[in-house]
Amino acid sequence: MKKLVKYFDNQEFSNIIEELVTNETVQEMKKYRQHYETTCFDHCYMVSYYCYLICKKYNLDYVSATRAAMLHDLFLYDWRVRQPDRKGLHAFTHGKKACENASKLFDLSQKEKDMIITHMWPVTMKFPTSIEGFILTFVDKYCATSETFEVIKSKMFMKKAFRYAYVFFSLLLIRF
Ligand SMILES: [Fe+2]
Ligand SMILES: [Fe+2]
């Protein structure tokens, strides 16, 4: 799988998520594709980093935001494949599933749990209960869109490159 995400060189951010990203179960997110070429792990890492930057800049609870964001999609299955034990659509259920999985592994605060459960708002009806929760929902959507757009952009570039190559070789053939 192509790696779209940069692993950021920020000591404070790395310290906050170290306990999470070194966990075996969290590492399993690398096996699952989230949006196109981006793994679930990379998507969460990216969302976590932007939540960290925004919440720190505005003097919010950046530690909780960073932790919750890193775990917000810890559902651990391929969402494109129908899961026999899943009741309801992935979009409506995976926040709760991620929170259940994360709670088994880490000591999460109620605020962090709420952020994970409500990260799909407004697709799901339940509102985030904190400003950090709202930030997570918007950053998640921003990252999902940019991960999708990156792939479309690279496909369009390939199409264009192919077209130019075709014209170039056609001209060469005509000449010789
Ligand atoms: Fe999600
Ligand atoms: Fe997400």
Whether the pLDDT of residue 133 is over 70: the answer is yes
Give a yes or no: residue 6 inside a domain: no
Count of Cβ atoms closer than 10 Å to residue 9 Cβ: 7
Q: Which pLDDT does position 88 carry in this prediction? A: 86
Residue 18 pLDDT class (50, 70, 90 cuts): very high
- Count the helix, strand and coil residues of the chain and give each as a percent rounded to the nearest 5: 65, 5, 30
Give a yes or no: residue 5 inside a domain: no
Q: Cis (ω within 30 of 0) for the bond into 122?
A: yes
Contacts 24+ apart (CB under 8 A), 53-62: 54/135, 54/139, 55/132, 55/135, 60/131, 60/132, 60/135, 61/111, 61/130, 61/132, 62/16, 62/132
Give a yes or no: residue 17 inside a domain: yes
Residue-wise pLDDT for 112-131, tens only, equals 999 999 999 999 999 999 99
Section 131-146 average pLDDT: 96
Domain CATH for 45: 1.10.3210.10
Give a yes or no: residue 3 inside a domain: no
Whether the pLDDT of residue 175 is over 60: the answer is yes
Exposure of 24 by Cβ count < 10 A (0-12 exposed, 13-18 middle, 19+ buried)? exposed
Give a yes or no: residue 46 inside a domain: yes
Count how many domains the chain has.
1
Strand partners, 32: none
Phi, psi of 39 (to 5 degrees): -75, 160
Distance 44 CA to ligand 2 centre (A): 6
Ligand that comes closest to the CA of residue 69: 2
- What is the CA angle 148-139-51, rounded to 5? 130
The answer to whether 106 and 19 have CB atoms below 8 angstroms apart is yes
Residue-wise pLDDT for 56-97, tens only, equals 999 999 999 999 999 999 999 998 888 778 788 999 999 999
Distance 110 CA to ligand 1 centre (A): 18
Q: Which domain holds residue 93?
A: 11-175
Q: Which pLDDT does position 9 carry in this prediction? A: 82
Distance 60 CA to ligand 2 centre (A): 21
Distance 159 CA to ligand 2 centre (A): 29
Give a yes or no: residue 4 inside a domain: no
Mean pLDDT score across all residues of the chain: 89
Ligand that comes closest to the CA of residue 138: 2
Distance 144 CA to ligand 2 centre (A): 7
Section 45-54 average pLDDT: 97
Q: Which pLDDT does position 1 carry in this prediction? A: 45
